Chain A
Amino acid sequence: MARTRSRRRHQLERAVTYPLDWLEERSGLVGAVKYFLFRKVPHDTNWFHTLGSATLTAFIVQLVTGVILAFYYKPSPDEAYASIQMITNDLTLGWLVRGMHRWGASVFIILLFLHMGRVFLFGAYKYPRELNWLLGVLLLVLAMLEGFTGYLLPWDQTSYWATVVGINLNATAPFAGPFLSDFLRGGQEIGTETLSRFYSLHMLLIPGGLIGLITLHVYLVIRLGVTSPPWSSDPAGMERTEVVTARRGLVEPRSRGNGPTGVRGRPQL
């Protein structure tokens, strides 16, 4: 009896591990996921560090609801408004999908700013994470553009006239301005061409860019690790003598300035 049970168990384990081993041998993906999950993070990592993944969650909500909306939305001036009404009022749970997409955009932007504020507060843009700050700024700009292009799609008065003015404001930029406005408008007036362009930018180009940049962004976070909070009494990476004095709370570590590296009189920025 006992022997058969252990044999079954062995078979079961094999059924699970075999495909995993197969995958690992051919791709190394299992190892990568293991590394991601079991990598060490600073011991003082806290709730502030969740803002990045929260932003990613909001983005995923936008992706999922956006795909569903694209099933029903019709990007032509004759049908766009009616399809938005149909999605909101007639489609089962369509109101929820559109509502989540609409308000998810705001939540996404708010979280981006909060996340950026956290990184600034923690000084987490400093060496060696400068590149990731740059990627973050780029992500913020793309997210705002996503908001601008998505605003036109319901094709109601608010979205139409906001876009008219938005495109006109673009045109005030020197050199590239008028060219950019003509490109966005796709003609003399805002119409079929404009809606197609905004739809394409909103659905393909900008989200594609966002997905690629987010992947890079997260890769760099995993590679470089996250910064300890600035108020931590034992932040990862602090010089040992500084840690000791900071822990005792006797002397401000920086003002001593006689550590092994002889830090003294830094300019204040």
Chain B
Amino acid sequence: MSNERERAYFKRYKEDVETRGKPFYPYAMFHDTVMSLVVVSVIVGLACVWYFTSGEEAGDAGILGPRYTEEADPGTTSFIPRPDWYFYFLFYLLRIFKWPESVVLGTVGIPTIALILLVMLPFLDRRRERRIVRRPVAVVAALLVIASMGILTYKGATAEESLASENVELVDEWVQVQGLSEDGRQGAELFAQSGCQSCHTYLDSGSANLGAPDLSEIGAAGQSPEELAAYIANPAEFGNQVMPAYADLGEENLRLLGTFLSESKGEGGGG
């Protein structure tokens, strides 16, 4: 596409607008004003529904969620790491790529490529054509992007949460399958209550998130309780940047968790 033709087009555009256009005020401005009033009304409406259907108690959710959850506490660990809804599509990407080999594709790789493509769009598509039926590649690409972002957002929104109350009931079963000691049993209870299973699966319970591995056979490799406890206390030291540090649990709890994990050798290796 030669520059000259582009310039000729824009010159013609300016002439057309000047001779056959309409003034911004009042025509376009009327539309803009109505639309802005609609936007403000929708925001006020959402705020009202959010407030009047929820209660003062922390976590007392209405139609649009709670006003706030419990106060932030680095010591408790029964959390569900959830971003605001418009990050769900990025969040769910991490379930597709497994830690540690490929998770960087989900956290950085694909978002970066998408952003570069978005930035480059006007330089990749340099034709003057604007009619939709004449831009099949652009339209298909747009539909694919909308569909994939929609699906990822939906999957992220409906992803199963692991509930501590349900997991605790499974501890007896784990003791039998894995042949856990008394310390191992206490560690298992901590494991079930502390929100570990928001990201880790264990013997078909919990939800896999952020690329965290299944821990049913974590002890099969022969790591000692002390090694595992040190890892949980500060995963970053072992090159795991995603998992939060759990040093706040205290030494005794970490020891119990380490024992539980080192005794978890999978369904085949019980005892």
Which residues of chain A have a CB within 8 Å of any CB of chain B? Answer: 36-43, 45-47, 49-51, 53-54, 57-58, 61, 77, 81, 84-85, 88-89, 95-96, 98-100, 102-107, 109, 111, 117, 120-130, 133-134, 137, 141, 144, 147-148, 151, 154-162, 164-166, 168-174, 177-178, 181, 189-191, 225, 227-228, 230-231, 234-239, 254, 261, 266-269
Contacts and interface: CB of A to CB of B under 8 A. Distances in A.
A127 B10 contact: yes
Nearest to B85: A106
A156 B66 CA distance: 11
A47 to B, nearest CB: 6
Contacts of B122: 125-127, 129-130, 133-134
B86 A109 contact: yes
B71 A43 contact: no
Given A43-B21, A266-B127, A103 B72 contact: no
A168 B17 contact: no
A165 B127 CA distance: 42
B138 interface: yes
B24 A40 contact: yes
Interface in B13-65: 13-14, 16-18, 20-25, 27-29, 31-32, 34-36, 38-40, 42-44, 46-48, 50-51, 56, 58, 64
A225 B24 CA distance: 11
A147 to B, nearest CB: 6
Nearest to A261: B5
Contacts of A236: 12-13, 16-17, 20-21
Interface stretch (B102-110, B163-171, B184-192, B222-230): B102-110
Given A106-B46, A160-B72, A189-B245, 11 more contacts: A41-B27, A43-B20, A45-B27, A96-B48, A107-B42, A109-B86, A126-B122, A126-B125, A127-B10, A172-B242, A191-B74
A158 B115 CA distance: 27
Contacts, number: 276
A48 B134 CA distance: 20
A81 B72 contact: yes
A164 B23 contact: no
Contacts of B6: 127-128
Of the four ranges (under 10, 10 to 19, 20 to 34, 35 or more), the interface on chain B belongs to: 35 or more
Given A38-B25, A103-B46, A130-B123, A54 B35 contact: yes
Interface of B (DSSP majority class): helix
B132 interface: yes
Interface of B: 1, 5-6, 8-10, 12-14, 16-18, 20-25, 27-29, 31-32, 34-36, 38-40, 42-44, 46-48, 50-51, 56, 58, 64, 67-74, 76, 79-87, 94, 103-104, 107-108, 115, 118-119, 121-132, 134-138, 142, 146, 210, 236, 241-245
Contacts of B50: 99, 102-103
A75 B198 CA distance: 29
A237 B56 contact: no
Contacts of A173: 104, 107-108
Nearest 10 A/B pairs, CB to CB = A99-B47, A237-B13, A40-B21, A160-B72, A123-B130, A130-B122, A103-B46, A171-B241, A161-B79, A50-B35
